[in-house]
Amino acid sequence: MNIRITALFLLILGFPLVSISQLNIEGRVVDASDKKPLVFANVFISNTTKGQQTDDKGKFKLTNVPSGTIDLVISYVGYSTFSMQIKTDTLKRPLLIMLTADAIELQGVTIKRIKDGYKKYIHVFQEGFMGLTAFSKACKLKNPKALTFSMNHDDSQLIIRADEPLVIENKELGYIIKYQLEEFSYHFRERYTTFYGYPFFEEMDTKSAKKKKEWIENRNTAYYGSSTHFLKALVDKRLTEEGFVMHKLIREQKKMYSVPMLPERKDSLGNIIVEASREKIMIDSADVKLKADHALSKLPTSGFARHVQYLVRTPLKESEIVSAMNDVFTMDFSNHLYVVFNKEHEEPQFLSANQKNIPQTSILAMLDPPAIIERNGHLINPLSIIFEGRWGNEKIGELLPLDYLPALP
C-alpha cells in the first residue's frame, strides 16, 4: 500500500518571480475540491532552511532561494504531501497549488499494523534512518509516537510511516530537522533499508560563542568526505586535490572450486613431470581471477557474503565516469565504484579488531543510470545511486542543507 500523491498545480499569470538580484518562489495553496485557501500549510524547499507557512489567504513567498533544481514541498494535516521539482532559474510565474485529501491506494499489496510495533522495531528505524555514526547517535527524535509500524503480506518487509512531520534534534550540528517522511522500509531477507521524504532545516539558537564554533567545526566535518563533497569534486575534476581516490569495483556471485592442493607441473614440451596431488582445497572464483589478471586486487568480504569482489588497481579518472550535459553533469559506471577519502579516518565502531587509522571508504552502485548532478554536488535523483560503507552509515546524523557551504578555517 502506497500513499498516492494527487496534489495538482497550475502556473498562473502574475509578475515575474525572478529578478536580477535574487530568485523567489511565490504562490497560493488551496483545497482542490472547494478552492478555499489552506491556512498555515507548510511550504519549504526540501533539504534547505528555506520555508514558511501560508498566510490567511493561503499565500506564500520564499525569497533568495537556491539556483538550480530544487524540490518544492507542501504539507498539510489531512492532505497528501505535494512535491515537485522546479528549476528555479527558469520559473517566471506564481504557483497555484491544489491539495487533495490524503488517500491510501491499494496496489495489490496488503499491509497489516503491528501490535507494539514501536517497542519491537524502533531500533531498526533508529539505525536505518538516523544512521550509525557518532553524529547520528547524538540525534534525538522528539516525536517518536508519530511513527506507525506495519508488515507486508508475507512478513518480509517492515513498513514505517509517520502521522506528522518528524522532529529531529541534532545537537552536534545545531539543527532542528522537520522531516516529512513518506515511507521507510526494511527488507528482512536482503537486510537493506530504503526511505524517502523531505527534510526542512531550522537553525538552533545559542548565545554561546563556544557552541557556535563547535557547530561550525562539526558541520565542516560532516561536509568534508561526504557524498555531496565527492560529487562536487568529481564534476570540478578536483578529486585528488580534495582527497578522494576512486576505483572500479567488480562484484560477482561467489563460486567455489575444488582444486588439487599441489597442481601438476609440466616441462617445456608439455609433459607432466609432477602429478597433481590427490588432496583437494576449496578456492573461490576471485582467487582464480586474480591469478589470471594481476591488474586486480581482492577486496575482503564477510564470511557470510554471497559475492566476491576485487578492485581494479589503477584509479579511475573523473572523465571516465562523468561528462557535462548542458548545465548539469551525467554520471555512469558499470558494476560498482569504490571511493576512498584519505583526509579522514573511519570511526572505530566501523573497524575490525586491531584496525586503526583506516581512511573512510564507500561503495556506490548505479540503480537508474545515468545519475544527474548539479555543479554544487546536488544529486537530482537520490534514488539513482545506492551507497554502502561510510556513506551508507551517514544518514540524518550527517545531513546538511543543500545550500550549505563549508566555513573557511
pLDDT, tens only, 244-275: 999 999 888 877 778 788 888 888 888 888 88
- Model pLDDT, residue 383: 77
Band (353; pLDDT cuts 50, 70, 90): confident
Structural Rg of the chain based on CA atoms? 25
213: helix, coil or strand?
A: helix
SS3 content of the chain, % helix, strand, coil (to 5): 20, 40, 40
Q: How far is CA 39 from CA 51, 56, 78, 168, 243, in A?
A: 15, 5, 13, 24, 48
- CA angle (322, 328, 334) in 5-degree steps: 25
| Rounded to 5°, angle at Cα 404 from 399 and 407 | 110
Task: Give yes or no for a contact between 256 and 284, defined as CB atoms under 8 angstroms apart.
Answer: yes
Phi, psi (deg, nearest 5) at residue 163: -80, -15
Q: Name the residue ranges covered by the structural domains of the chain.
A: 2-105, 111-209, 227-396
User: What gap in Å lies between CA 94 and CA 171, rounded to an integer?
Assistant: 37
Q: How far, in Å, CA of 236 to CA of 223, rounded?
A: 16
Question: Does position 115 have pLDDT exceeding 80, yes or no?
Answer: yes
Which amino acid, residue 302?
S
Q: State yes or no: pLDDT of 8 exceeds 50.
A: no
Q: Which cell numbers hold the place of 288? A: 582464480
> Does residue 177 have a pLDDT over 50?
yes
pLDDT band at 105, cuts 50/70/90?
very low
**pLDDT at residue 21 above 60?**
no
Q: What local confidence, expressed as pLDDT, does residue 183 receive?
A: 86
State residue 380's pLDDT score.
85
DSSP output for 127-180: IIIIBSSHHHHTEEES-GGGEEEEEETTS-EEEEEESS-EEEEETTTTEEEEEE
Going by pLDDT thresholds of 50, 70 and 90, the confidence category of residue 296 is confident
More confident residue, 381 or 117: 117
2-105 CATH fold: Immunoglobulin-like (2.60.40)
Give 302-331 pLDDT, tens digit per residue: 666 677 788 899 999 999 999 998 888 999
Facing residues of 71 across strands? 85
